[in-house]
Chains A and B, each alone.
Chain A
């Protein structure tokens, strides 16, 4: 071998050694990553999310070049979105997938999550449009992905939020037609029921809901469908030919209960009441200790269905962080001392009415003051799932209607030839957007029409004002409506919570 070529052999050997070493290291890296991903999933199945998250993070950060790094990020996003309810961290994980692994098999699920996160921010046009864009990417860019039915179903829901009812039905119809055996199809039928009701087709809505009963019997979706069917049946089948509600002999809570100012039903289906002195819960465990507040004003629920106590200067979610509600003034900040109503929008903003204010105030999820929501003095506020806002004018003559931006969309006169409510004391929306107005002596239900969210065009659907001897009431002070439309109502004369079905 000539001297000048003698370096070639060692170089070749070295290259081969290094190349083989790299290949082996990659294989090992891939195997370790896969094992760690499976370990994390096993922890997650056991409910040990701390350990699960540690494993997922290790895969995503230490083995970022492996084929399962995107799966780990997706698991992280799922945890934050579905378990921890931490939108910020969920969004970060989703963002990492969409930027770093845009063509991976995790990308379609990441787009679905991005859409859900957008809807989680709120149901206002920008949020809905952002969500729709993400859902659309799934079926457009990944048409064979298993995430397509869920994306279509969520598109249908987003269209419903924005009042694009035809588009909603088209999206939902694609799910039920093309992916009839998926879980998303059951949810699509449930949402289609809402959409059809909004279109003024309650019977068609009921037929959609019954599909869930027929095809997914025994599932939570079937239970939800039953509740909604019961609600619609009461308002649209029973009511035209008779009373929508009949008093039952049931009661909730103690047989004698005094001075209840508000009732709420939380996501876990428990009914809480508030009196001037504190909070009680129906069927509550004796050992269960409910918080006691020194300057207690009442209770409400947040948009996740959790109980929130209203203190003089803050909103206090049960088991969550307090949300101080302070208005800026010349001295820096002033507490709202006389809160009479509070409700939360889908984006987490709080709408708070203080009797000392001339406007409904808006606060961010953390209590940051966002200014006046609407110039109105009201005694009760309710927020529907499409972010439609209703409020009882303080003088009790009208129910004011707003959109999520605070613009007035309409008003409902409750002193009219058809309805003579002189002492309205409560407001509530159900899952379909029916508006329930409680008077001390009666209950009225208003039906949303088509684009009611935008136009506020409600019509009186039914009212109930039975004689007290026939199971009626005349000193109602608070009420709540459950998913099946059952009304739980506190009557000061009866001194208990009455149940109307």
Chain B
């Protein structure tokens, strides 16, 4: 056989039959890390020691092992193994084997060249094999860039590039970002050069945006495309945000970040673009907070900003903001849209806070969130109470913490669905939610078919019974009426008194004395006397005298002009005492939950003894009205009143009996009623019913 034919056959054999012929005779190496390199080193050492016959089996095993390990395994080592085995075979006179190995090597690496220090004889064999197996492609690209031949990528610059390829069919392809795709098949002939030109068109571009500061939202043509990542320093430029596949042409790029002025730029895109750092300008307003409340903390959008001091100044981002001032006695909420550069002073008057925790909109015309804010606006003028839509996340966390069912107040709101929650459970949940939110109570709101007419329930912490009112969120008249009703002063719980009973009598001008107290008797007033003047003004009736007493107060003695039954007139100087009175237990015009908060605050303040007794007594009355018997009993325990007429020890005993009865402590209740039944002239309030018959009726009912 002629040498050329022999080489050709060897090449064809090598290409067609996956090379590892020798491997069939020797077992492949264990596929363990470093095994191939060790095998190669051993083979090379033997080769270098001219022990070619011992080196070849080692290279056989190596080639076999790499080949069996799968395509792509250690291609460089495989190439070196083929080279070394070819040269070993050459030394052993195995010309066919040498050619086969070179052919296999070039199939893997068509552009392989032997180093210059290798024997020219070997190089001649290699070149011969190469001439039979490798062709050359001269490739140029417009524009320059990466080009793929089969699965290998070549960087083609402005000048044409010569690339060796194995003779045979190939695919030339270009897949570049932003360019039209390109693909072409060609056949390379061994030992020949062909010239190929690639030409692709740009169809899109990429944009790399850098901003200062980072975390800026990039919006292109109205579509958000991401936020610029943080850069190396906090106040330096951001890392680039790369946006690919932008169509060529005109675009509008907007850079948005809260508290910054939005930057809007035109962008004419013809190629990939990387911006310089784009600077955004801050957009803030300034609010100064003033409050007389102690220990108040300011929050913006639910985020704590620190305690309120005399110089409290807030920097606010432009836009709608909720400023809250939270204190132990209540809250203040300011909800408005701030403009850049705006400056305002906010006087925060803290009111008892009632976050709206249940919103039941009975009409699709309004969402629960809208209803909550509408009620907040409509009740803004209500004194003493802040009914507001709380920060949603805080509310959700609070309700989730106690597993509060959504319909727990439906029955109270008159909304269909939901079961009636027992008063004790409501009281417990109200207290827990209030405590968790750090507020004085909670509110619940519902509308019927009229989306503007809202029914509002207010529960103070510790209360199981609500105050309720209806307000029209679109009617200022309704809002004013509600504000007036809720703002009405509580009935007096301590009042100036002459401690003397006076009555009107037809035909008698003046107030006729029918009972005197110790002080008024000592001052010289007697039964049958007629008070005809007070503080220099005529007294024609009891109403006149009451008005004068109420206006004078306890500080000074009251100068009276008194006519006795004989018709003689004299001056009497009477002292005015401050006496305890009780609020009515079921007055529909009284907001007992608000009264509870008011009285709690007053109870916490130091006050004269009479006022302290009045506060605790009325606190008990209010707590009883709200079904909180235990706390009512505790409040009554702090009240010491003397025996006698009017609101006195008998009153306390009776109220205590009612509390004990409510708490199910029947025997103790009966004992308290028994004590009250003996209080002959004690009254439930200064103008209320006598205690004794009420107590006797309770005793009788309890038997």
Residues of A within 8 A of B (CB): 165-174, 176-181, 192, 196, 203-204, 206-207, 209-211, 213-215, 217, 226-227, 229-230, 233, 237-238, 241-242, 484, 501
Contact = CB atoms under 8 A, between A and B. Distances in A.
B588 interface: yes
A241 B528 contact: yes
Nearest to A234: B505
A238 B565 contact: yes
Given A167-B697, A206-B501, A207-B501, A179 B586 contact: yes
B697 A166 contact: yes
Interface in B575-590: 584-589
A181 B688 CA distance: 12
B696 A170 contact: yes
Nearest to A484: B506
Contacts of A167: 693, 697
Given A173-B697, A192-B689, A210-B504, 13 more contacts: A173-B689, A173-B690, A173-B693, A180-B584, A207-B501, A209-B503, A210-B501, A210-B503, A213-B504, A214-B687, A226-B505, A226-B506, A229-B506
B433 interface: no
Q: A-side binding surface: helix, strand, loop or mixed? A: helix
A203 B692 CA distance: 16
B625 to A, nearest CB: 10
A213 B697 contact: no
Given A177-B694, A215-B687, A229-B504, A206 B565 contact: no
Interface in B308-344: none
A167 B697 CA distance: 7
Interface stretch (B223-231, B438-446, B507-515): B507-515
13 contacts: A165-B693, A169-B690, A169-B694, A170-B693, A170-B697, A173-B697, A192-B689, A203-B514, A206-B501, A206-B514, A207-B501, A213-B543, A233-B503
A204 B503 CA distance: 11
Contact of B528 (A168, A171, A237): A237
A379 B120 CA distance: 171
B216 interface: no
A176 to B, nearest CB: 5
A290 to B, nearest CB: 29
B501 A181 contact: no
B502 interface: yes
B546 interface: yes
B501 A180 contact: no
Contacts of B685: 177
Contacts of B588: 181
Given A179-B586, A181-B589, A229 B503 contact: yes
Contacts of B7: none
B689 A177 contact: yes
Contacts of B693: 165-170, 173
Interface in B621-666: none
Contacts of B688: 173, 176-177, 180
B681 interface: yes
A171 B701 CA distance: 13
B397 to A, nearest CB: 37
Contacts of B696: 166, 170
A176 B689 contact: yes
Given A210-B542, A213-B504, A230-B505, A238 B528 contact: yes
A166 B698 CA distance: 11
B546 A214 contact: yes
B489 to A, nearest CB: 16
Contacts of B514: 203, 206-207, 233, 237
Interface of B: 501-508, 512, 514-515, 527-528, 542-543, 546, 565, 584-589, 681, 684-685, 687-690, 692-694, 696-697
Contacts of B681: 204
A238 B515 CA distance: 13
Nearest to B687: A211
A473 B690 CA distance: 42
Among B514, B528, B688, which residue has the most Cβ atoms of chain A within 10 A?
A: B514
Contacts of B502: 210
Q: B-side binding surface: helix, strand, loop or mixed? A: loop
B62 to A, nearest CB: 86
Among B586, B587, B588, which residue has the most Cβ atoms of chain A within 10 A?
A: B586
A181 B587 contact: yes
Contacts of A171: 697
Contacts of A181: 587-589
Contacts of A501: 507
B621 to A, nearest CB: 10
A210 B575 CA distance: 22
B587 A203 contact: no
Contacts of B512: 233, 237
A501 B543 CA distance: 23
A183 to B, nearest CB: 14
A176 B501 CA distance: 19
B395 to A, nearest CB: 32
Contacts of A203: 501, 514-515
Nearest to A181: B587
A241 B565 contact: yes
A178 B582 CA distance: 12
A171 B689 CA distance: 10
Contacts of B692: 169
A-B complex: 5 closest residue pairs judged by Cβ atoms: A173-B689, A170-B697, A169-B693, A230-B506, A178-B586
B528 A169 contact: no
Among A209, A210, A217, which residue has the most Cβ atoms of chain B within 10 A?
A: A210
A226 B689 contact: no
Nearest to A182: B588
Among A168, A196, A211, A233, which residue has the most Cβ atoms of chain B within 10 A?
A: A233
B650 to A, nearest CB: 13
Given A169-B689, A203-B514, A174 B506 contact: no
A224 to B, nearest CB: 11
A226 B565 CA distance: 19
A225 to B, nearest CB: 8
A268 B17 CA distance: 136
Nearest to A179: B586
A203 B690 CA distance: 13
Contacts of B543: 213-214, 217
Nearest to B697: A170
B515 A207 contact: yes
Contact of A204 (B505, B528, B690): B690
Given A180-B584, A237-B528, A226 B690 contact: no
A481 to B, nearest CB: 14
Among B502, B504, B527, which residue has the most Cβ atoms of chain A within 10 A?
A: B504
B266 to A, nearest CB: 64
A203 B503 CA distance: 10
Contact of B694 (A170, A180, A207, A229): A170
Contacts of A227: 506
Contacts of A177: 584-586, 684-685, 688-689, 694
Nearest to B698: A170
Given A180-B584, A207-B514, A214 B542 contact: yes
A173 B501 contact: no
Contact of A178 (B506, B507, B542, B585): B585
